Amino acid sequence: MTIERVPTRLTGATSHGHLLDLIRTTGGMTRQQLLASTGMSRATLYERLEALLRRNLIYEAESMEATGGRRSRKIRFEDRGRVVLAIALGQTHATVTVSDINGRQLRSRTVQHRINAPAPAVLQPLIRIGTELLGTGTGETLTGIGVSVPAPVDAGTGHVAHATTIPEWEPDAVLTSVSSQWQVPIVVENDARAGALGECTTDSETTVYVKVATGIGCGIVVDGTILRGSHGAAGDIGHIHVATDGPLCRCGRRGCLATFSSGSSLIDRLSSQGLTSLDEIARAAEQGHPDVKAQLLSAADVLGGALAATVTTVNPNRLVLGGRIGTIPYFAEHVRSRVLQDVVERIAEGLVVIAGATGDHAAIDGLTQLVTRKVFAPDAIDTLIIDYALN
């Protein structure tokens, strides 16, 4: 019987967790390549690879070309069959998706709901859908769960804070409901911040993502890191004050950006024409309805003026518009024109302003990344190894 040594110090590039991270992020390496990259002794490397193999975190994959001796085998991260359940909540609908941990969406369902209903009435049907979707898979292991909500979130606790959209919910309602069904790691994040991460194309870019749906939210990602702020409210641009005597906002103030440019404000202005949902407004926009176009261009103009300040402050590579309203082509194009008109040349140079993915695809992708980062973070893996050895 092999007796595994209990790790006493697991820091630096040679810990079990950092070794797994190296294997995972490179797509796999041979033992010889790992020795060269880490500087570890052969005995230490092999001990740590053995520990990772026992936890089913790595596997020996294809043989490489022979280099004078026997063929080396590449050590790969064990991603086969690992899935993430993501639940993206909007104010009028929610999407539940099972994805593999590389972000490929396997099964998904979108349903209508009212976010302002009591938490159990909103969350329990989505949990049932998640259970059904997971139950149809074969040979899968649930790695973790991500939930996005249209409200500020404290990423450290997963609690919803200062939510005008769900004021009656307990701060820990999402965590409590989900953890009662599944005992796996859980991530709760703001929907726009999850979408911002999902829209990033590289780990080195700076992305500003603005979701224009029932409300308005913004997420900012710099070098792969989400900016959350001291109280989880970074990006809450819907309540930027843009007019002293503007319409009354549900936050209790007048003249917030959301009262001019959100989907709910558009519904207020267009309901007299029988347009009472975002889908109806979007369809009317596609059909060239003149009053709808005028209202959308007005909303885009106010939004673009407000975003010019954000763009100037952050200086992103890309400004991406999402949500049912944000992805309407001429809405996105007018936001682009207004932003580029208002910012100075050195900020505008190279700035890409585009409509992003439709639906909840970006938020689902961002949640999957956040869950994977949490579960396979070096510190998390080091703790797993220690706990396993002690038990």
Read off the CATH number of the domain in which 49 is found.
1.10.10.10
Q: Which of 47, 78, 109 is the last residue of a domain?
A: 78
- Which pLDDT score is estimated for 167? 83
**Within this chain, do residues 211 and 331 fall inside the same structural domain, yes or no?**
yes
**Within this chain, do residues 330 and 251 fall inside the same structural domain, yes or no?**
yes
Please check whether residue 166 lies inside any domain of the structure. Answer: yes
Burial-class residue 182 by CB neighbours within 10 Å (0-12, 13-18, 19+).
middle
| Residue 38 half-sphere exposure toward CB, CA atoms < 13 A | 29
Sign of the dihedral through C-alpha 205, 206, 210, 211 = positive
**Within this chain, do residues 60 and 22 fall inside the same structural domain, yes or no?**
yes
Distances (CA, A) of 213 to 31, 93, 274, 275: 50, 11, 18, 15
**Within this chain, do residues 252 and 114 fall inside the same structural domain, yes or no?**
no
Contact 182, 142 (CB under 8 A): yes
Kindly report the CATH number assigned to the domain that includes residue 111: 3.30.420.40
Please check whether residue 242 lies inside any domain of the structure. Answer: yes
d(CA 219, CA 68): 52
Question: Which H helix or E strand runs over 247?
Answer: none
d(CA 63, CA 34): 15
DSSP output for 195-236 = HHHHH-SSTT-EEEEEEESSSEEEEEEETTEE---TTS-TT-
Q: Which residue has the tokens 């926009």?
A: 285
- Which pLDDT score is estimated for 64? 55
3-state secondary structure (DSSP) of residue 362: helix
**Within this chain, do residues 41 and 137 fall inside the same structural domain, yes or no?**
no
DSSP output for 40-60 = --HHHHHHHHHHHHHTTSEEE
Please check whether residue 390 lies inside any domain of the structure. Answer: no
Q: Which residue has the tokens 């002690």?
A: 390
- Which pLDDT score is estimated for 355? 97
**Within this chain, do residues 337 and 228 fall inside the same structural domain, yes or no?**
yes
Q: Are β-strands 73-77 and 29-30 bridged in parallel, bridged antiparallel, or unpaired?
A: antiparallel
- Which pLDDT score is estimated for 251? 82
- Which pLDDT score is estimated for 319? 98
Please check whether residue 8 lies inside any domain of the structure. Answer: no
**Within this chain, do residues 186 and 200 fall inside the same structural domain, yes or no?**
no
Please check whether residue 261 lies inside any domain of the structure. Answer: yes
Which of 181, 182, 208, 192 shows the shortest CA–CA distance to 149? 192
Please check whether residue 225 lies inside any domain of the structure. Answer: yes
**Within this chain, do residues 23 and 88 fall inside the same structural domain, yes or no?**
no
- Which pLDDT score is estimated for 168? 86
Which residues make beta-bridge pairs with 100?
83
Q: What is the mean pLDDT of each run of 10 residues along the chain (391 residues)?
A: 36 79 93 91 93 94 59 89 97 96 96 93 97 96 97 89 82 96 96 96 94 95 92 86 87 91 96 94 95 97 96 96 97 97 95 95 97 96 83 61
- Which pLDDT score is estimated for 4? 36
**Within this chain, do residues 166 and 217 fall inside the same structural domain, yes or no?**
no
Please check whether residue 384 lies inside any domain of the structure. Answer: no
**Within this chain, do residues 224 and 150 fall inside the same structural domain, yes or no?**
no
Please check whether residue 6 lies inside any domain of the structure. Answer: no
**Within this chain, do residues 206 and 330 fall inside the same structural domain, yes or no?**
yes
235 Rama sector, left if φ>0, alpha if ψ -120 to 50, beta otherwise = left
Q: Which amino acid is at 129?
A: I
Phi, psi dihedral angles at 140 (to 5 degrees)? -110, 150
- Spell 380-389 as b/e; 16+ CB within 10 A means b: ebbebbeeee
Degrees, nearest 5: CA angle 335-338-343: 120
Burial-class residue 286 by CB neighbours within 10 Å (0-12, 13-18, 19+).
exposed
Domain span holding position 23: 16-78
**Within this chain, do residues 206 and 177 fall inside the same structural domain, yes or no?**
no
What's the number of domains the chain is made of?
Answer: 3
DSSP state of 8: S
Q: What is the distance in angstroms between the CA of the first residue and the CA of the last residue of the chain?
A: 16
- Which pLDDT score is estimated for 391? 61
